[in-house]
Amino acid sequence: MGNSIVDNFWVIVSAVLVFLMQPGFMCLESGLTRQKNSINVAIKNLADFVFSVMLFWLVGFGMMFGLSFSGIVGTDNFIPEFGNNFHLVSFFLFQAMFCGTATTIFSGAVAERIKFSSYLIIAILMSAFIYPLFGHWAWNGIDAGVFSGWLGEAGFVDFAGSTVVHSVGGWMALAVLIIIGPRKGRFLPDGKPVEICGSNLPLSVLGTLLLWIGWIGFNGGSTLTMDVRVPGIIVNTMMAAASGSIFSLSIGYLLNRISKISFLINGSLGGLVAITACCHCVSISESVVIGAIAGGVCLVVEDILLYYRIDDAVSAVPVHLGCGIWGTLAAALFGDPEILGTGLGFLPQLMVQVTGIVAAFVVAFLIPCFIIRGINRNAPLRVSPEDEYIGLNISEHGAKTETADFLRVMEIQEKTGDLTLRVPADPFTDTGVIATRYNKMMDALHRIGATFQQLFDGSPQAVVSTDMNGRITRANKGFQSLFGYPAAKVVGACNIDLIVPDNLCLESVTLRQAILSGKSIEKETHRKHHTGKLIPVSLMGFPLIVNNAIEGVFYIYQDITERKAMEDELYHKAFYDSLTGIPNRVLFMERLEHAFKRKQRKEQFNFSVLLIDLDGFKWVNDNLGHQAGDILLRKVAQRFLGCLRSVDTIARLGGDEFAVLLEDITGPKEIVAIAWRLINEAARPFTLQDTEASISASIGVILKASRYTRPDHILRDADIAMYRAKTSGKSRFKVFSKKLHRITHEAQELENDLRKAVERNAFTLFYQPIICSRTEALQGFEALIRWAHPVKGKVPSSHFIPLAEETGLIVPIGQWVIETACRQLKAWRARIPGALNLTMSVNISAQQFVHNDLEQIIENALRATDLPPGCLMVELTEGSVIEKPEVMIVHLNRLRKIGIKIAIDDFGAGYFSLAYLKNFPLDCLKIDKIFVDEINTSHENLQIAKAIIILARNLDLKVVAEGIEDHEQLEIMRGLNCNFIQGYYYSKPLSARDAEDWMQKKKTVCTSKISDRSTICSLRPDR
């Protein structure tokens, strides 16, 4: 160190400039931290300088620059008294500023989370031990120009303290940061960093500029003399700072596409730190390169810290530690060996620099880590989360600011929910302006809250809010009205204990968990009144979300007792038969569909379907009245219910048709047993309006319903089996089988073909002669229909005539027969001599009376062919007239008025009432073939035929014997005085041409007519 006044003056000026770095650090750190901690940051900057200067005077100066003990530590000059030694005083002042700078470095890094007392402990450790110890190793003897510390003696070069001051401070900051952890909210749970914005970035820029000024003394004063080197050192310092700032901004923009002010600040400060070690021994261009690399080092180290979730509030570690290490290495990489004056070559010099860096790591990082971790274990260094939240200005220093008052009022509002509180507001400050706007916002919020409270309290629905534990925090008057609990007294009670029935507790817990997961739910359920009465309610539940966090649950209950009663009534009407009270077709199909789905889930599940039709129900309705029929259906339903198990379903599908669904069936025996029970119950007599009535049941059974894929197919096949049971004699059941399905399928095909035949008139008529038994003269013909199927050939009339009657096709077929027979008779009368007295007979189905204007059709046919009515006779079977005899008598009398003759066909084979016989306008009886077949061998048949002929003679009716096939039969009928004969004995049914040829050969036409000489024509099977 120079001894001249000028040299000493320059050192003092430099010390003053270094002192300016303290307000620079304060401005930088206060601006980069949040407002709530700015006072704490400022106080720490002042405190660390005060404590560091005092401790440096007490022990630090002696430890660092006292007489060296083995190059490790100083042994004198503790608590020095300098007297008039102005050289030593100047040197102490300059070095005390350096100690304050080193201590200040770590204060900004750990800002906003460390206790003030903890900070002072670490500052004392830094100022009294760490900094002086390493400073002794590197700089002891620098005032005399001869290094006596072990690093200095080895040739370690750190001109103004890149390592001694900045790296040591950076290592200490890193150790504390690792121990105390990041600020709250700095990193997300996934590790992604969240930027915490500083409170005053312009202030940070001012602090940076003050640091630039301070660095002039920091580096320029390190010469300890005013000589020709000082200007070059200052220029190198400024150029490194500028290049570091530019490079950091450029790279940061390229990587982030944004020009952050932190890039400029950290880049410039990194350049200043890096050039500090070698500013005396490099050129300007080399200074620019060193500064630029330092800017890049700042960015890299910053990213490394974020990766490891290390939160440096002011980037002290990247700037001071990262760039300090780089600057120390740069002294070896770029320094002029002559200026360095160590006498070492490049590699030895580089190794010495690395040794210094490692030594700083040990003394400023490893040792403090052990010491500080031990302190933290016994006396936590970090403030509590609550104190960190409200800010260290208040928690550590009790500072009273507008912001603090603002926060205090907000905290009271948060705890009490009192929205009437207002923040004191000074309209002439920034915080006061915000407070004014906040108060206005609170006025609006208070109005909204009052409106909500009115809606909450005045809602007719029961509204209740609960906390996260399910305890009621608020309930309205609607809650009291619905459940009977006073709204004010339920606060704090558990909602589930008050109103949830015991059997619905699990449901309630599940719903609450769903709501707490963020879902809103709607459900119809039951809740209980305080008396224990269950109330059907519509429940709405949704989470109470505050600041994106769920803090409770809102429930809204609406009494739906009336609606549920109406729904139950509508449900019963929709799914149950109104007459019998048992399920209807809709509910049956729904349960059948459910059985299908159950079978898919459970392979061993079996079910069966029975279709029931009541035999004789129509007779009850027609003879006893519909009221009696309704009573019968209700009684039948009750009897059938008694035949089934609780798991089975009996449904009325409509009319007198019932269906049964048997579930969980063990085997066919169980199904058969149930079917017989149903048949037996139906067969027991019923008492209806003091009259005993008997019916029966025909049942179609589907044994293996599970093999079906569609419910309607089951009913279809069950209907087929039921119909087969009816046609097989009634009061029995039939099991649907493949054979039955084949028969049904063939019948369906036949029906379809028959419809096509009707559309195309694909029929022909054959004619069978009717002969006078006495003279053997031709009386007339019976027309018999024939159908030649294009694939099946000739289809017997016994197959398709019943199908035509069943499907209603008999009406158009019958009309065609009447018209065709009349035209053929007209043709014969025109061509054959003596055919004017021929007659033609047609069989008429009862359906032709019901579905068609038969009288008009016959009149039209006779008119079109110009035939007299008396040449046409219509035949009806006994069965067709006994169903509704009164109606048939009316229709037959109309035909009689036209002049049409009427015959009863197959007489004696049915159940024709002799009491009705005299009331029918008849002309002829035709004895059924069954009595003729064995008349020559059966005495009974002979007596029946004789009785019929006597009866007909007494009623003045003619008689035709059908099916005469041999001479013996003919002679017997002649002996009984039967009027006319029909059968194969004389001729089989003939085509129109063959019949004409037959007549030409016969040449005998009867001159007598059947009761005024009519014609016979038939749709019935051949005789």
Residue 635, domain CATH = 3.30.70.270
Reported confidence tier of residue 348, pLDDT bands at 50, 70, 90: very high
Q: What is the pLDDT of residue 1016?
A: 40
Reported confidence tier of residue 432, pLDDT bands at 50, 70, 90: confident
| 246 within domain boundaries | yes
| 101 within domain boundaries | yes
Question: Do 794 and 867 sit in the same domain of this protein?
Answer: yes
Q: What is the pLDDT of residue 1008?
A: 43
**What's the CATH code of the domain at 778?**
3.20.20.450
| 137 within domain boundaries | yes
Task: Summarize pLDDT for 291-346 with one digit per residue, the tens.
Answer: 999 999 999 999 999 999 999 999 999 999 999 999 999 999 999 999 998 999 99
pLDDT at residue 285 greater than cutoff 50: yes
Q: What is the pLDDT of residue 1003?
A: 62
Q: What is the pLDDT of residue 636?
A: 94
| 897 within domain boundaries | yes
Question: Do 694 and 829 sit in the same domain of this protein?
Answer: no
pLDDT at residue 275 greater than cutoff 90: yes
pLDDT at residue 936 greater than cutoff 90: no
Q: What is the pLDDT of residue 1007?
A: 44
Question: Do 318 and 417 sit in the same domain of this protein?
Answer: no
Task: Summarize pLDDT for 440-478 with one digit per residue, the tens.
Answer: 888 888 787 777 777 777 788 889 889 999 899 888 888
Q: What is the pLDDT of residue 1013?
A: 38
| 145 within domain boundaries | yes
pLDDT at residue 481 greater than cutoff 90: no
pLDDT at residue 192 greater than cutoff 70: yes
912/899 Cα distance (integer angstroms): 24
Asked if 932 contacts 973 with a C-beta cutoff of 8 angstroms, the reply is yes
- Per-residue DSSP letter, 221: G
Q: What is the pLDDT of residue 2?
A: 59
Question: Do 726 and 800 sit in the same domain of this protein?
Answer: no
CA dihedral 594, 597, 603, 607 (to 10 degrees): 30
Question: Do 518 and 555 sit in the same domain of this protein?
Answer: yes
Question: Do 606 and 676 sit in the same domain of this protein?
Answer: yes
Number of domains in the chain: 5
Q: What is the pLDDT of residue 1004?
A: 52
1011/707 Cα distance (integer angstroms): 62
Q: Which of 177, 146, 149 is nearest to 164 (CA)?
A: 149
745/160 Cα distance (integer angstroms): 111
CA angle, 637 then 638 then 643, to 5°? 95
Last residue in a domain, options 736, 764, 795: 736
Q: What is the pLDDT of residue 914?
A: 67
902/869 Cα distance (integer angstroms): 11
Asked if 770 contacts 782 with a C-beta cutoff of 8 angstroms, the reply is yes
Q: Which of 946, 955, 973, 967 is nearest to 902 (CA)?
A: 955
Query: Which run of H or of E encompasses 775?
Result: none
Q: Which residues have C-beta within 8 Å of that of residue 767, sequence separation ≥ 6?
A: 781, 782, 783, 784, 824, 989, 990, 991, 992, 995
Q: What are phi and psi of 691, to 5 degrees?
A: -120, 135
Reported confidence tier of residue 582, pLDDT bands at 50, 70, 90: very high
* Strands of 462-466's sheet in order across: 472-475, 462-466, 549-559, 534-546, 521-528
Residue 412, number of CB atoms within 10 A of its CB: 12
Summarize the confidence of residues 59-65 as an average pLDDT: 94
Question: Do 671 and 798 sit in the same domain of this protein?
Answer: no
Query: Which run of H or of E encompasses 11?
Result: helix 5-19
Q: What is the pLDDT of residue 640?
A: 94
Task: Please tell me which residue, 225 or 397, carries the higher pLDDT value.
Answer: 225
Percent over 70 (pLDDT), the chain: 96
Q: Which of 931, 863, 917, 852 is nearest to 889 (CA)?
A: 917
Q: What is the pLDDT of residue 697?
A: 94
Summarize the confidence of residues 675-704 as an average pLDDT: 91
Q: What is the pLDDT of residue 808?
A: 85
Please state which of the ranges 231-235, 349-353, 937-941, 1003-1007 shows the lowest mean pLDDT: 1003-1007
Reported confidence tier of residue 851, pLDDT bands at 50, 70, 90: low
Helix intervals (H) in 221-345: 229-256, 261-276, 284-307, 316, 323-334, 337-340
Question: Do 352 and 214 sit in the same domain of this protein?
Answer: yes
Q: What is the pLDDT of residue 176?
A: 95
| 936 within domain boundaries | no
Highest mean pLDDT pick, 219-223, 275-279, 623-627: 275-279
Asked if 1015 contacts 802 with a C-beta cutoff of 8 angstroms, the reply is no
Task: Summarize pLDDT for 621-652 with one digit per residue, the tens.
Answer: 888 888 999 999 999 999 999 999 989 999 99
- Which residue in the block uniquely carries the two structure tokens 């039967």? 978
**What's the CATH code of the domain at 369?**
1.10.3430.10
Question: Do 721 and 806 sit in the same domain of this protein?
Answer: no
Output the pTM of the full model.
0.49
Percent over 90 (pLDDT), the chain: 51
Question: Do 802 and 897 sit in the same domain of this protein?
Answer: yes
Q: What is the pLDDT of residue 786?
A: 92
Q: Which of 559, 431, 417 is nearest to 484 (CA)?
A: 559
719/716 Cα distance (integer angstroms): 5
Give the three-class secondary structure for 551. Answer: strand
Question: Do 436 and 470 sit in the same domain of this protein?
Answer: no
User: Mean pLDDT, the chain, as a whole number?
Assistant: 88
What is the extent of the structural domain holding 468? 459-565
Q: What is the pLDDT of residue 1015?
A: 38
Q: What is the pLDDT of residue 450?
A: 73
Task: Summarize pLDDT for 596-618 with one digit per residue, the tens.
Answer: 888 888 888 889 999 999 998 98
| 390 within domain boundaries | no
**What's the CATH code of the domain at 501?**
3.30.450.20
Question: Do 645 and 723 sit in the same domain of this protein?
Answer: yes
User: Torsion-angle region of residue 352: left (phi > 0), alpha (psi -120 to 50) or beta?
Assistant: alpha
188/276 Cα distance (integer angstroms): 37
| Distance (Å) of CA 16 to CA 28, 98, 207, 217, 532 | 19, 11, 16, 8, 86
Task: Please tell me which residue, 404 or 515, carries the higher pLDDT value.
Answer: 515
pLDDT at residue 713 greater than cutoff 60: yes
Task: Summarize pLDDT for 150-162 with one digit per residue, the tens.
Answer: 999 999 999 999 9
pLDDT at residue 404 greater than cutoff 90: no
| 270 within domain boundaries | yes
Asked if 296 contacts 247 with a C-beta cutoff of 8 angstroms, the reply is yes
Reported confidence tier of residue 909, pLDDT bands at 50, 70, 90: low
Task: Summarize pLDDT for 514-554 with one digit per residue, the tens.
Answer: 999 989 999 999 999 989 899 999 999 999 888 888 989 98
Q: Which of 128, 126, 15, 25 is nearest to 74 (CA)?
A: 128
